[in-house]
A and B are shown apart, each in its own frame.
Chain A
Amino acid sequence: MFKYLKQLTSLVAMVAVLFTFTTETMAAKKSKTLKNTQKKGFVRCGVSQGLPGFSNADAAGNWTGIDVDVCRAVAAAVLGDANKVKFTPLSAKERFTALTSGEIDILSRNTTWTLSRDADIGLTFVGVNFYDGQGFMVRKSSGITSTSQFKDGISACTNIGTTTELNMRDFFNSKGISYEPVAFEKADEVVAAYDAGRCDTYTTDKSGLAAQRTKMSNPDEHIVLPETVSKEPLGPVVRQGDSVWEDIVRWSLNAMIEAEEYGITSANADSMKTSDNPAVKRLVGAEGELGAAFGLDNEWSLRIIKQVGNYGESYKRNIADTGILPDRGPNELWTKGGILYVPPAR
């Protein structure tokens, strides 16, 4: 009798263990980050300390910018409300540690996608929301109109902890020009020092130059030189090891770009449900079961488009209308001469 009891207990224990395993894998499919986000009720998003057009806070603490819109899109998809985002301003130096240590879940902070960052330090880049390149800004009065006029001994202000610092060295070395790098921790200090005349040139991504120019005491006194000395694909980053969360962020961004391609805007999204184009219907949740793949409902992309808008709307609102870069350049859709091309949402 007792013998049987012992066997019975072990059987029950085994079943229990198996059951826990199966529920565990079901839950794992939903992603730990996703689960935590839904439990907390907000998306934890790392942004810059103030870069107009990308991520910038107004006096009331409201964040705007195309980097901010990526996080808002994820919040709309995951939580149903684009405003449920907690923004953490980070310096270039702090950003990756904040992400890998779990302080934030998305880093959307004009961050360049490079091999060593993607492969080496526990990060995964999910896409590109702005194609950029490094440039130089000089004072108009200096008469410099091209980087070929740079001379030995030029001093260049920049940020520490960025690809800019490395590109700058490559650039000056290849031209055989000696230079004095003056690297600050915060962008505001770089601008202040350059503005005061400490440096002859200020170098960072061209979009950054255009944005920071608006902060100078007299923006008209400065010009951005035409040369682009590097490739800087900027995009959102997530922690390595949570592929479902990675997919959610990737497709939230892709949905915004694809929505623009199909002409779906925040204004007409609802009426698009009756469109004849199945691709459009899929994107507004009227057809297919796209959300289920990452544990979301079917209207995730509809919410993104309605609450945040498509990529074009975001660009116009944040970058074009603010006068930073009215011309979209490479950040135009592939159908209109740019290089924005995302895989189909199906």
Chain B
Amino acid sequence: MDLKLQKIIPQLITVLVVVLVFGFFTYNAQINMENRGIDFGYGFLSQESSFDVQFSLIEYDGSHSYFRAYLVGLLNTILVSVIGIIIATILGVIVGVARLSPNYLINQFAAFYVEFFRNIPLLLQIFFWYFAALRALPLPQDADAMLGVFFLTIKGLYVPAFIWENLNVFLYSIIAAIIAIVVIRIHARKVQETQGKQLPVFWISVGLIFILPLLSFLIGGVSLSFEIPKLKQLAATSFKYEGGLSLPPELIALTLSLALYTATFIAECVRAGIQGVGKGQKEAAASIGLNPNQVLKLVVMPQALRIIIPPTTNQYLNLTKNSSLAAAIAYPDLVLVFAGTALMQTGKAIEIVSITMLTYLSLSISISILMNWYNKKIAIKEK
């Protein structure tokens, strides 16, 4: 009985303290807001926002609601995070492997990159890419076309837009190709396990992913044309491109700086992972007749990934949260649009900040759950 009580009392006290602290802050805020005549409530979310946003993935203008403005910000945050994570991962793996290269020039270059970019504050890097690199870009009328159709200017990157016909057929053909590849892989594995024969799965996969979509063009009625950006004059010295797809320079600068910065940390995770696999493992794998490719794929990587994944998850979370620095360079992310403009226009500080915090928390937890699931999947399964 005593022992049980001893266990319960500290827990009760903890709960009580948490509730009291939380209650105190709520009460305090309530009293102060009442004194100053500030209403509390989330009703403003359905009101008309009456401000425009520069760049949005969904249809939006000032006649939509504050909630819609919130979605615009959220989607922009997700967009920059996803692109950033993809680029950072690819770059990180390449640099991480490069640091272990026996080639002196390559590994020194990789080491220099890592030390340089991870030791400069991120905000400074964002400013560098946006203000310093941006100033060096040409005005729209002076821009030279890259490959005839890309225009990189101070007002953004203009690329041709795809105009599809029967896009759904094309997408189905890709899905069909992916399913076929999965089936063939399972079959090849069975063949290898039962008969010891190796099928050229890689080449078959490459063939499928090209041939099926190609067929959709030839017989599926799919056609594709491009809309190439055209220069438009706004005033004597003021131009812009029209048509095609335009990526705002804010998005480019932010993605670039986030990816370059986070890639350095991922590179170190990758290096740690590969170095963490014992030399004996590689030698043993080679001694049973696996070729270098198979050694990497079947022996080194599965073990290295276990070391790489957990710290890399942290880096993904960091990147997502760091994307809130967007406000400094006018990229309309969640913080700029919702916790910035919307907060200012409504004055609902507590409501908006709490929604924003909850949103970042949910985003981070989603990434965590996904990565933990993957980590569990590749963890050693003890039998």
Binding site for B on A (CB under 8 A): 92-93, 96-97, 100, 116-117, 120-122, 138-139, 141-144, 149-151, 153-155, 157, 160-162, 165-166, 168-169, 173, 179-186, 189, 192-193, 196-198, 200, 239-241
| Residue among B249, B340, B349 with max Cβ neighbours from chain A (10 Å) | B340
User: 1/0 per residue B267-278: CB within 8 Å of A?
Assistant: 000000000000
List which B221-249 residues lie within 8 A (CB) of chain A.
232, 234-238, 240, 242, 249
Bound-state Cα–Cα, A192 to B330, Å: 12
List which B329-377 residues lie within 8 A (CB) of chain A.
329-330, 332, 336, 340-341, 343-347, 349
Q: Is the CB of A93 within 8 A of B234?
A: no
Q: Is the CB of A196 within 8 A of B336?
A: no
Q: Is the CB of B54 within 8 A of A183?
A: yes
Bound-state Cα–Cα, A189 to B336, Å: 14
Q: Is the CB of A122 within 8 A of B33?
A: yes
Q: Is the CB of B36 within 8 A of A241?
A: yes
Q: A100-B36, A189-B329, A189-B330 are in contact. Are A142 and B249 (CB under 8 A)?
A: no
B281 at the interface (CB under 8 A from A): no
Q: Is the CB of B54 within 8 A of A149?
A: no
CB contacts between A and B, total, < 8 Å: 131
User: 1/0 per residue B171-204: CB within 8 Å of A?
Assistant: 0000000000000000000000000000000000
B38 at the interface (CB under 8 A from A): yes
Q: Interface size class for chain B?
A: 35 or more
Return the contact of B36 from the options A122, A144, A183 (Cβ within 8 A).
A122
User: 1/0 per residue B45-64: CB within 8 Å of A?
Assistant: 00000111110000000100
Main DSSP-derived SS at the A contact region: mixed
B52 proximity list for chain A (CB < 8 A): 165, 168-169, 179, 181
Binding site for A on B (CB under 8 A): 33, 35-39, 50-54, 62, 131, 134-135, 139, 154-155, 232, 234-238, 240, 242, 249-250, 327-330, 332, 336, 340-341, 343-347, 349
A to B CB contacts below 8 Å, 16 in the list: A120-B346, A122-B33, A141-B236, A142-B235, A142-B237, A150-B234, A161-B340, A166-B62, A169-B51, A181-B52, A184-B329, A185-B336, A193-B131, A198-B154, A198-B249, A241-B35
A154 proximity list for chain B (CB < 8 A): 234, 238
Bound-state Cα–Cα, A198 to B331, Å: 13
Q: Is the CB of B349 within 8 A of A198?
A: no
